[in-house]
Amino acid sequence: MKKIFLFLSVLFILTGCNNQEYYSKNLFYMDTVINIKIYDNDNEKVNKAFEEIENIYQKYENITNFYDENSELYFVSNNTTDDEYLSLSYELTDLINIGLDWYYKSNGLLNINIGKLTKIWHDFRTNPISLPTDLDNINIDINQIKLEGNQLLNNNPSIDLGSFVKGYVTELAGQYLEENDLEYYLINAGGNVKVGKSYKGYYNIGIASPVNSNETFEIIKGENISVVTSGGYERFVEYNGILYHHIIDPNTKYPSDFVKSVTVIGKDSGQCDALSTILFLMDVETGKEFIKDYDVDVIWYTNENAIIKSDGFSYE
């Protein structure tokens, strides 16, 4: 028996703005329902902000959508030109450089040249007839990606930026609001939540249970923070009684199975997104050591349904 499941929202927001008036808008980009709330009295200013934020998400959707034939990234990974180098936009160049940096910081766990592999598993989740085979022959060598300025060697890379790009763009949206004096806001982009100031002094941010997405297992109280969750229950297929999700371990080339979910709490949504992916690809003890270099708090939800928090957890 085969079942396909898709959860677009991992975190639920319970607002903490003391019943102040707010404006709300829903978008759909990066395969996610994105809800934006802004607390302000200037209707014209808020509506312009909604328009600009949608432009930000749409712009990066057009650049980074791995499966859209019209996106810049799709062209890079699927082009048939004879050009030695491909000229990239500033935005895509920056994202690839960020991905390469995370590759080395994570000892190869966050590998943006994993596109051929993630596509195989994506196609399997869409049509799970038989398990993928010959995965050892799939080339995910990061050295295929060679950049000189904004010139990418046309070396048949297959770049997938899904491990951090939604958090990166959500951070840009939050920065836009703050730079335009709209400091009281919340952005809920599925498993990526970013909040600004709260009139009450904090927001209640509920982290959804990976065993029942209609329930929360932890409430984070805070403002001016990002809360990002990576979980194997977001996009998966059940095949012969086993769940196969979308977060692929580059070492095994199969879906990672260390934990059910990892939540990272910090200031920068892009950093939290990358870290949540990396931590999902390692065991808890290794993860605890890894995050000592970062100013973040972490919650692991283990396969045994235990909840483990990083040392000195700040949000009790």
Domain boundaries, the chain: 65-153
Q: What pLDDT, on a 0 to 100 scale, did the predictor assign at position 238? A: 76
Class of CATH domain 65-153 = mainly alpha
Q: What pLDDT, on a 0 to 100 scale, did the predictor assign at position 308? A: 98
- How many other CB atoms sit within 10 Å of the CB of residue 314? 13
Q: Specify which residues 45 forms β-bridges with.
A: none
Instruction: Indicate the SS3 state at residue 238.
Output: strand
The whole-model pTM stands at 0.92
Distance CA 188, CA 185 (A): 10
Instruction: Indicate the SS3 state at residue 277.
Output: helix
pLDDT digits (tens, 9 = 90+) for 225-279: 999 999 876 665 777 777 888 899 999 999 999 999 999 999 999 999 999 999 9
Low-confidence ranges of the chain (pLDDT < 70): 1-20, 233-236
Q: What pLDDT, on a 0 to 100 scale, did the predictor assign at position 22? A: 86
Q: What pLDDT, on a 0 to 100 scale, did the predictor assign at position 13? A: 44
Residue/partner pairs of 129-137 with CB below 8 Å, 24 or more apart: 131/239, 135/253, 135/254, 136/253
Tokens of 39: 């607390």
* E strand map for 105-199: 147-148, 151-153, 185-189, 192-195
Q: What would the 3-class secondary structure string for 33-65 be?
A: EEEEEECCCCHHHHHHHHHHHHHHHHHHHHHHC
- How many other CB atoms sit within 10 Å of the CB of residue 238? 15
Within 8 A by CB and 6+ apart from 203, the residues are 13, 14, 15, 16, 17, 186, 195, 221, 222, 223
Q: Which 8-state DSSP code applies to residue 248?
A: B
Distance CA 64, CA 74 (A): 8
Is residue 312 packed enough to be buried (19+ CB in 10 Å), middle (13-18) or exposed (0-12)?
A: exposed
Q: What pLDDT, on a 0 to 100 scale, did the predictor assign at position 211? A: 87
